[in-house]
């Protein structure tokens, strides 16, 4: 329990964004992104991993997830534009969970300055996109930003509503980029670590993914039906999300007085939940420190015991997008490679999300017959 809540404006602002998100983040929209996710990853692998026998996983994954999010959410494909966003983005993401001391030299201060620079770049992209939408060279259904501009402009015509500004939109978009960045990075990095540590699990995932690869013609991109077949792979990803939930939790406000564990929580108090503790509860996850993807077979864990994406009305709206990106990643890496850790006992730090301290350097062992 943190404190009595007084932060109504943040809640109202996120509620506004939430209304604009579903068409672009729900399963029916995510279906259309799978080809792009796959294509972009193949390009990245070709550029950064093909022909190398030693690589670092963390920077590679970060580059890929960022380029993909900028393409799918903002519709930006141009390398110069991407570079303008990429540099300050890493500092902005790093300042999100930092001691809020805004003086030069602090991580928080660097994050604030970087997010200002990103908003300026996004404001420029919004202005250009408005022109492109007006002269018909952009399509409103192409990406989240184009859709947002059309919806916001429509809504702003109704003078009863307080207008949503371009600044509001760029803040929301920055929030989205950040929300789906470190979370996915952390998940795929730990999947790669676990698959080295549990070779029997690696073999099972390989078998499942090779079955799918066998059915594809050369160069054919993944689609929704392929992802639906990746049941065991998703159980593995869920077990990683259970043992290493990327987020340190989220907040809720008590709507009424209630008692929990012998403590009375008064109405209006702010609460913080921690997926890490819930997901290691012996009652729901026997032998909780054991990596065991079979926990997710059949009906899986009881409701609200597995909460890496939160739960209820404010559950993460990016969960389908995340699932697709994680599975596309697993397919591409596993059908191409086996790998070994170059630092077998590499330490994990929490900074503020968990990450291997040296960026997970690995030795790549390509399969003899590639997918």
Asked if 95 is part of the footprint of ligand HEM (rule: CB under 6 A), the reply reads no
Asked if 18 is part of the footprint of ligand HEM (rule: CB under 6 A), the reply reads yes
* Closest CB 347 distance from ligand HEM, rounded Å: 22
Cβ–Cβ < 8 Å for 365, 338: yes
Asked if 75 is part of the footprint of ligand HEM (rule: CB under 6 A), the reply reads no
Q: Is 316 annotated as a binding residue?
A: yes
**How many Å apart are CA 186 and CA 237, to the nearest integer?**
11
Query: Which region, judged by CB under 6 A, interacts with ligand HEM, from 132-140, 147-155, 222-230, 242-250?
Result: 242-250
Asked if 356 is part of the footprint of ligand HEM (rule: CB under 6 A), the reply reads no
Query: Of 12, 162, 315, 357, which lies in the binding site for ligand HEM, with binding defined by CB under 6 A?
Result: 315
Asked if 321 is part of the footprint of ligand HEM (rule: CB under 6 A), the reply reads yes
Looking only at residues 137 through 176 of this chain, which bind ligand HEM when binding is defined by CB under 6 A? 175-176
**How many Å apart are CA 275 and CA 249, to the nearest integer?**
6
CA atoms within 13 A on the CB side of 353: 25
Asked if 179 is part of the footprint of ligand HEM (rule: CB under 6 A), the reply reads yes
Asked if 227 is part of the footprint of ligand HEM (rule: CB under 6 A), the reply reads no
Looking only at residues 243 through 282 of this chain, which bind ligand HEM when binding is defined by CB under 6 A? 246-247, 250
Phi, psi (rounded to 5 degrees) for 177: -60, -40
Q: Which residues of 29-59 are buried (b: 16+ CB within 10 A; e: fewer)?
A: bbeebbeebbbbbbebbeeebeeeeebebbe
* Closest CB 217 distance from ligand HEM, rounded Å: 29
CB atoms within 10 A of CB 159: 7
Cβ–Cβ < 8 Å for 251, 280: no
What would the DSSP string read from start to end of 194-211?
HHHH-HHHHHHHHHHHHH
Residues ≥6 apart with Cβ < 8 Å to 285: 242, 279, 295, 301, 305
Beta bridge partners of residue 75, listed in sequence order: none
* Closest CB 250 distance from ligand HEM, rounded Å: 3
Asked if 33 is part of the footprint of ligand HEM (rule: CB under 6 A), the reply reads no
Give which of 101, 126, 111 is closest to 178, Cα–Cα.
Answer: 111
* Closest CB 7 distance from ligand HEM, rounded Å: 12
* Closest CB 232 distance from ligand HEM, rounded Å: 18
What would the DSSP string read from start to end of 96-158?
SSS----STTSHHHHHHHHHHHHHHHHHHHHHHHHHHHHTTSS-TTSSHHHHHHHHHHHHHTS
Asked if 27 is part of the footprint of ligand HEM (rule: CB under 6 A), the reply reads no
Query: Of 88, 111, 180, 356, which lies in the binding site for ligand HEM, with binding defined by CB under 6 A?
Result: 180
CB-nearer residue toward ligand HEM: 25 or 37: 25
* Closest CB 304 distance from ligand HEM, rounded Å: 11
Count, residues near ligand HEM per rule CB under 6 A: 23
CB-nearer residue toward ligand HEM: 183 or 209: 183
Query: Of 70, 230, 322, 360, which lies in the binding site for ligand HEM, with binding defined by CB under 6 A?
Result: 322
Asked if 308 is part of the footprint of ligand HEM (rule: CB under 6 A), the reply reads yes
Query: Which region, judged by CB under 6 A, interacts with ligand HEM, from 52-60, 158-166, 257-265, 307-315?
Result: 307-315
Whose tokens are 């470190």? That residue is: 182
Give which of 142, 186, 202, 203 is closest to 326, Cα–Cα.
Answer: 186
Asked if 183 is part of the footprint of ligand HEM (rule: CB under 6 A), the reply reads yes
Query: Of 316, 327, 328, 353, which lies in the binding site for ligand HEM, with binding defined by CB under 6 A?
Result: 316
**How many Å apart are CA 97 and CA 160, to the nearest integer?**
36
In the annotated binding site for heme, the residues are 316
Contact set with ligand HEM (CB under 6 A): 14, 18, 25, 175-176, 179-180, 183-184, 187, 246-247, 250, 308-310, 314-318, 321-322
């Amino acid at each position: 329990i943190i404190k009595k809540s007084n932060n109504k404006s943040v809640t109202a602002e996120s509620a506004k964004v939430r209304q604009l998100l579903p068409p672009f983040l729900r399963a029916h929209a995510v279906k259309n992104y799978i080809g792009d996710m796959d294509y972009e990853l193949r390009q990245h692998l070709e550029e950064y991993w093909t022909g190398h026998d030693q690589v670092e996983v963390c920077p590679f994954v970060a580059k890929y997830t960022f380029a993909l999010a900028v393409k799918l959410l903002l519709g930006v494909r141009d390398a110069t534009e991407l570079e303008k966003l990429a540099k300050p983005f890493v500092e902005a993401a790093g300042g999100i969970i930092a001691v809020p001391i805004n003086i030069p030299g602090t991580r928080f201060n660097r994050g604030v300055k970087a997010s200002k620079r990103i908003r300026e770049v996004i404001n420029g992209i919004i202005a250009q996109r408005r022109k492109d939408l007006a002269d018909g060279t952009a399509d409103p259904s192409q990406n989240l930003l184009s859709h947002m501009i059309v919806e916001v402009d429509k809504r702003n015509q109704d003078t009863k509503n307080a207008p949503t500004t371009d600044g509001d939109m760029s803040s929301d978009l920055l929030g989205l980029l950040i929300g789906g960045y470190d979370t996915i990075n952390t998940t795929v990095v730990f999947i790669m670590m676990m698959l080295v540590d549990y070779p029997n699990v690696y073999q099972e995932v390989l078998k499942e993914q090779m079955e799918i690869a066998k059915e594809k013609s050369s160069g054919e991109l993944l689609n929704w039906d392929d992802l639906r077949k990746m049941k065991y792979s998703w159980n593995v990803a869920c077990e990683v999300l259970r043992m290493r939930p990327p987020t340190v939790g989220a907040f809720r406000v008590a709507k009424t007085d209630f008692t929990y564990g012998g403590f009375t929580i008064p109405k209006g108090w702010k609460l913080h939940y921690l997926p890490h503790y819930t997901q290691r509860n012996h009652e729901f996850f026997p032998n909780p420190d054991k990596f065991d993807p079979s926990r997710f077979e059949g009906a899986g864990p009881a409701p609200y015991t597995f909460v890496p994406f939160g739960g209820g009305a404010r559950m993460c709206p990016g969960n389908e997008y995340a699932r697709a990106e994680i599975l596309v990643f697993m397919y591409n890496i596993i059908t191409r490679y086996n790998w070994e850790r170059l630092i077998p006992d590499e330490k994990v730090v929490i900074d503020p999300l968990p990450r291997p301290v040296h960026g997970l350097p690995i030795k790549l062992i390509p399969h003899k017959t590639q997918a």
